[in-house]
Chain A
Amino acid sequence: MSEFCGHCGERLDARDHTVCAVHLVMEPPRFCEDCHRRMKVQVTPTGWVAECVEHGTLTG
């Protein structure tokens, strides 16, 4: 289960993240949902890759 918001990096139970969810349609996540570290994110013409040093790689 993810604990953190991929857009703002704050705890999911800390506040409402509805606006963050809207952002995440138009941009890749910047924070790891497991540990809230800032991820290395590469956007390509048809997708994106986001990497957390601890929790590996996400793609979209």
Chain B
Amino acid sequence: MTDILQRATTKVLDNGEGLSFDELVEVLQLPDEQIPALLELAHAVRMKHCGPEVEVEGIISLKTGGCPEDCHFCSQSGQFSSPVRSVWLDIPQLVKAAEETAATGATEFCIVAAVRGPDERLMSQVRDGIKAIQEAVDINVACSLGMLTQEQVDDLASMGVHRYNHNLEAARSYFTNVVTTHTWEERWETCEMVREAGMELCCGGLVGMGESLEQRAELAAQLAELAPHEVPLNFLNPRPGTPFGDLPIMDSQDALRTIAAFRLAMPRTILRYAGGRELTLGDLGTRDGLLGGINAVIVGNYLTTLGRAADADIELLADLKMPIKELAKTL
């Protein structure tokens, strides 16, 4: 066993501590022939510190497209000539989507809006939507509505929002290559407010955007410092018309190294497959990741692109003997 894998075994598996930035760089530099051993360790860490359960989530876009921000990976920015048009979902459609999500066995339903931050119209739509969902469907409601004020954080908490998603997206040192219309620090502040208000924090990012290995390790270390409840890991899916539209699809071995590194940085977090895994990893790689540190999935479609059929993922989990996490009943 290589030195770094040995150290990681003691530190992460035995003692439950995350790896440091320098150690994560070493992990990301491991040669291809070490990947099976790396994934095996990451899987052991996940099984020991999180257990065999997999958390399943569905997501829905409440407001698609026309976002004023310029995140270079995003087809929903209004600043690029992406073919995605602006569209709003109504409340009956939102409830229907929540019902469809719950029918897959998912316990989380995340309502997403392509905005810098919510305005009064969006907050009121979210308020009505959550109320309608809570009356009709047994599922935890999460939101992802951009940057928040303290008042909005408090409002969302009082509406019963279980978890709030706001990604760092990229390492601090790479952020200005990805976004110029807001800062990394603004994202960090929203994340801290969410956590302090008692909502679960969901915060992750994307890899495969042209960042260096060091910057990938940096993102993992910065997320570990923030200590979110859940980390969604996206692999860039280059979208036509966006500044990152011509970047190559990330190498699958690099993607697997990244999954394992994120798990070794954060032994206890929910590490979720988010966008891009179909493209980067395919079916075989998806399986490898679930046996290499991932313990949560998004089922069905994404916000503007299509995912694998929900059935295919549910079957895969059954095949891997990983039970789907059930809704925790609060009495």
Q: Give the interface of A toward B (CB within 8 A).
A: 8-9, 25-28, 30-31, 38-48
Contact = CB atoms under 8 A, between A and B. Distances in A.
Interface in B83-133: 83-87, 89, 93, 96-97, 100-101, 104
A44 B84 contact: no
Interface of B: 58-61, 64, 83-87, 89, 93, 96-97, 100-101, 104, 240, 278-279, 299-306, 310
Give 4 closest A-B pairs by Cβ, nearest first: A45-B300, A30-B83, A45-B58, A27-B305
A11 to B, nearest CB: 16
Contact of B84 (A30, A45, A46, A48): A30
B89 A40 contact: no
Given A26-B279, A45-B97, A45-B299, A40 B85 contact: yes
Nearest to A43: B301
Contact of A44 (B83, B96, B104, B299): B96
Contacts, number: 63
Given A26-B278, A27-B306, A42 B83 contact: no
A43 B305 contact: yes
Contacts of A42: 61, 64, 87, 89, 93
Contacts of A38: 83, 85
Chain B CB count within 10 A is highest, among A27, A43, A44, A46, for A43
Contacts of A40: 85-87
Given A41-B85, A45-B101, 5 more contacts: A27-B304, A27-B305, A28-B306, A38-B83, A43-B64
A9 B61 contact: no
A45 B85 contact: no
Contacts of A46: 100, 300-301, 310
A51 B87 CA distance: 11
B307 to A, nearest CB: 9
B92 to A, nearest CB: 12
A25 B83 CA distance: 17
B266 to A, nearest CB: 27
Contacts of A30: 83-85
A9 B241 CA distance: 13
B301 A47 contact: yes
Contact of B305 (A8, A9, A26, A39): A26
